[in-house]
């Protein structure tokens, strides 16, 4: 159990670190990096929540899949509504995992701002479910 708690705390800290770095990248005009870092933050928020509330998480980077697991495991109506309402945004953020690294797609200021805003909303939702 102590190992799970340590892993949870590590993932949660990394999620916060990636979020802060995404904001820094946004401020310095590195929009591709901001979107990638925002995706990493969202992914780690979800994995840490699954670890804390369920005891494990899938080894995937698909945000919608991770969120779906969390919804099923917790039966949270709030997370279910969030998942439905932000499905397209989550899909776009998922794409940043690959697109910002390996393709010629260029992200914009607006893309970065929306990605970071989605992480902010997601983190509040997850923390509300965790009871933090």
d(CA 101, CA 103): 6
48-67 per-position pLDDT tens digit? 999 998 888 989 999 999 99
Residue 33, helix vs strand vs coil? helix
**Structure-token match 């159990």, residue found:** 1
Whole-number pLDDT of residue 25: 98
73 vs 127 pLDDT, higher one: 73
d(CA 9, CA 4): 9
Closest to 115 (Cα-Cα) out of 35, 45, 43? 35
In which band, very low, low, confident or very high, does the pLDDT at 95 lie, cut at 50, 70 and 90?
A: very high
8-52 per-position pLDDT tens digit? 999 999 999 999 999 999 999 999 999 999 999 999 999 999 999
């Amino acid at each position: 159990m102590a190992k799970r708690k340590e892993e949870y705390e590590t993932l949660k800290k990394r999620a916060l670190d990636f979020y802060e770095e995404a904001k820094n990248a946004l401020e310095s005009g590195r929009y591709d990096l901001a979107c990638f870092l925002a995706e990493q933050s969202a992914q780690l928020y979800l994995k840490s929540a699954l670890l804390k509330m369920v005891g494990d998480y899938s080894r995937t980077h698909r945000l919608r899949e991770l969120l779906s697991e969390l919804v099923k495991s917790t039966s949270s109506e709030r997370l279910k509504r969030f998942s439905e309402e932000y499905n397209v945004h989550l899909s776009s953020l998922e794409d940043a995992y690959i697109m910002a690294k390996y393709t010629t797609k260029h992200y914009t200021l607006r893309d970065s701002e929306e990605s970071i805003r989605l992480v902010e909303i997601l983190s509040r939702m997850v923390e509300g479910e965790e009871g933090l």
